[in-house]
Chains A and B, each alone.
Chain A
Amino acid sequence: MMQPGLYHLLFISTALFFIGVYGFFTRRNLVTMLMSVELILNSVNLNFIAFNKYLWYDKMDGLFFTIFIIAIAAAEAAVAIAIIINLYRSHQSIDVENTEDLRY
């Protein structure tokens, strides 16, 4: 059975990143967009882990970075959901096309 190498992990992380980007650009639902952002963050986490494991296996920096990102992502999700709830209260909708009040 073949051991997964660095390239395999980078491929998965790139795929995850662009799936997240695609979702962020195309979804109209704010919650879905938030989930897409989480995908992007996780693809970055995967990158950190992969580089840590394969290139600098005697160090722990990548690991700690990942833990920070997860913690901050949790906080960010809480803030974002709070914003979305407030938006729902004022606009009766969580569709991104209804949030175009701030423009020229």
Chain B
Amino acid sequence: MPNATYIALIPLLPLAGFLMLGIFGRKYFKNTSGVIGAALLLISTVLALYTAYGYFFEYGKVDGVYQKLVPLKYTWLQFSENVSIDMGIIIDPVSVMMLVVVTFVSLMVHIYSLGYMKGDERFPTYYAFLGLFTFSMLGLVVSSNIFQIYIFWELVGVSSFLLIGYYYDKPSAVAACKKAFIVTRFADVGFLIGILILAFHSGTLDFNTLITTLTSPETEGYKSAAAASFMGVSALTWGLALVFVGGAGKSAMFPLHIWLPDAMEGPTPVSALIHAATMVVAGVFLVARLFPVFAISSPNALTMVGYVGAISALIAAIIACTQTDIKRVLAYSTMSQIGYMMFALGVSKYGGEEGLGYTASMFHLFTHAMFKALLFLGAGAVIHYIHSNEMKDMGGLRKYLPVTHITFLIACLAIAGVPPFAGFFSKEEILLAAYEHNTAIYWIALITSGLTAFYMFRLYFNIFWNAPSPLERAGGEVHGEHHGEGGFVMMMPLVLLAVGAAGAGFIPFGHFISSDGKQLNTEFHLQFSIAPVALGLAGIFIAMWMYKKQNNRPDKIAASLSSLYKAAYHKFYIDEIYTFITQKIIFNLIGRPAAWFDKNVVDGMINATGNGTKDISESIKGLQSGKVQSYAIYFLAGVIGLALLFIYWWT
């Protein structure tokens, strides 16, 4: 068994950083808070790597199967014999992998922010929020109890709210953080109901017991969950679908994705941390955590996961082709890649070769964290240099940002699925899994992978090629000159992540993570990978043809596809649909009548009580006249009345 103390330290160190910097930062650590935060996270990262090494190579495997270990379990709120909210740590391949990913990406972001946020007014607050976010995400991945995961889930929501709204004097940032919070919160209601349904039927909140109960048909919990039905669907499927709604909200799945692009209002390193590598994969992680239940007991819910993922992947890829804000392009590409992970889970089955999708999904989560964090941090370096998010302000930057250029190119190649970069391997596995189980999803995925290559290289060529460069445009003077690329602290994370993005694909992931814990040997099919790679290369060359040199081809093509282009440019009007539904329908049909009811009936009752009291006191106040003798008369009358009462009626 592993030692629980140091595993518990992994999430607790960032928490300590949050408390220390949050309370004392502004006074004592004005300039050193970044180093403190990064140092604490470095310790966490080392501990996470140590845990991963120990788990995967020393104690984790028993008889060829990776075990689910619970080294720490503290019963916090006990409701009955079986039902309790625990604070615990669960160690299994997925959570160990997530520990490594989260701490590593977060460490890179901490280091990068030392340069990016230098001189910011609220530097200590920024690092405190980063610490809180990292703590919540780490707590989420090691949760051993479904309610514990919900608590950390909400903490993640709060800390992302704080970080997105970091520039709180910017109205758009304030709107974005509110939007992110409200949309994910709305989805979390579904999650909570799902938890309650699952917990009610299985009679427990503990993950291991819950999964065991709901996957074995002979148990009482399974029978009641499968028998109870609502609108022709079993309670089990409802519960899982609602849990998935929560996951879809956090993971920005269609149609709950609207908060993700707006959330780019936060500082760019935060986007890398929250909206690329960690927070948005929480939904994927949740489905993976409950995967045995999905796969064994409710294939319908799993199919839904698959289709939602596939549709999100496709829509996001189409929208990403038309956006001009570089961070928004990256945001939609994140959504698209998360869609990949989701449908990979959706097409997977439990156990053995059939569980390829599960392994592929986790693999993609891992590689995606590397290259997407790299893309965001690279975009951050560009924005830092140019002071703009818009593509039209960029171009020809390869001479000025050589390190960023190379690392960004590696990340683009990785996400486009060009061998031998990381994205190629994970994407191949996903496509293979989709091909074996669901042809419709396979075709969607194939198209999406071509589109991915296209929009990523559209971004790449627009930033780094597509002359004239800003220097030439500005007539020899560019304001970015004085600070160059951003120094060692900003370049080092880029290089490290680039190494990850280039090499992570060679990890034999199936050996470590599979749906049932047994080793899964993934084979490499050369003829199968021809189609996606060819499509990816085609996308790259089209992007090159259109964007490498300045020309009018993009405009012509946009004009020839005018209606589709316009719809995609406006994100398929989904924001407008939401606005219409909320403002025109919900506000008018529910909000306004409710407000009327509140104003007239509820307030009316309160006002009536007050006014009634006032009127009655107005009419009887004359009794308190100050005349002693009239008081005496009332008193005498009262005594006589009581006397008569006792003499004649009270016998």
Residues of A within 8 A of B (CB): 21, 24-25, 96-97, 99-104
Contacts and interface: CB of A to CB of B under 8 A. Distances in A.
Contact of A104 (B624, B632, B633): B624
B639 to A, nearest CB: 11
Interface of B: 621-622, 624-629, 632-633, 636
A96 B625 CA distance: 13
B621 A25 contact: no
B524 to A, nearest CB: 96
A103 B628 CA distance: 10
B626 A103 contact: yes
A25 B629 contact: yes
B628 A99 contact: yes
A97 B632 CA distance: 14
A25 B626 CA distance: 14
Contact of B636 (A21, A96, A103): A21
A24 B629 contact: yes
A102 B626 contact: yes
Contacts of B636: 21
A25 B632 contact: yes
A100 B622 CA distance: 13
A24 B627 contact: no
Contacts of A103: 624-626
A24 B627 CA distance: 12
A103 B622 CA distance: 9
A104 B628 contact: no
Contacts of B622: 104
B609 to A, nearest CB: 21
B624 A96 contact: no
B632 A100 contact: no
A99 B621 CA distance: 18
Contacts of B624: 103-104
Contact of B621 (A21, A100, A104): A104
A25 B627 contact: no
B629 A100 contact: no
Contacts of A97: 627
Interface centre among A24, A25, A100, A104 (most CB of B within 10 A): A104
A96 B622 CA distance: 18
B617 to A, nearest CB: 9
24 contacts: A21-B636, A24-B629, A24-B632, A25-B629, A25-B632, A25-B633, A96-B627, A96-B628, A96-B629, A97-B627, A99-B626, A99-B628, A100-B625, A100-B626, A100-B627, A101-B626, A102-B626, A103-B624, A103-B625, A103-B626, A104-B621, A104-B622, A104-B624, A104-B625
A60 B22 CA distance: 83
Nearest to A96: B628
Nearest to B624: A104
Residue of A21, A96, A100, A103 with highest tally of chain B CB at under 10 A: A103
Query: Which 3 pairs, one residue from A and one from B, show the smallest C-beta to C-beta distance?
Result: A103-B626, A100-B626, A104-B621
Contacts of A104: 621-622, 624-625
B549 to A, nearest CB: 92
Nearest to B617: A104
Nearest to B629: A25
A102 B629 CA distance: 13
A9 B633 CA distance: 26
Nearest to B628: A96
Nearest to A27: B629
Nearest to B622: A104
Given A99-B626, A104-B622, 11 more contacts: A24-B629, A25-B632, A96-B627, A97-B627, A99-B628, A100-B626, A100-B627, A101-B626, A102-B626, A103-B626, A104-B625
Contacts of B626: 99-103
Contacts of A25: 629, 632-633
Contacts of A96: 627-629
A17 to B, nearest CB: 11
A102 B628 CA distance: 10
Contacts of A99: 626, 628
A100 B627 CA distance: 6
A99 B629 CA distance: 11
Interface centre among B621, B622, B625, B628 (most CB of A within 10 A): B628
A67 B633 CA distance: 28
Nearest to A24: B632
Contacts of A102: 626
A21 B633 CA distance: 9
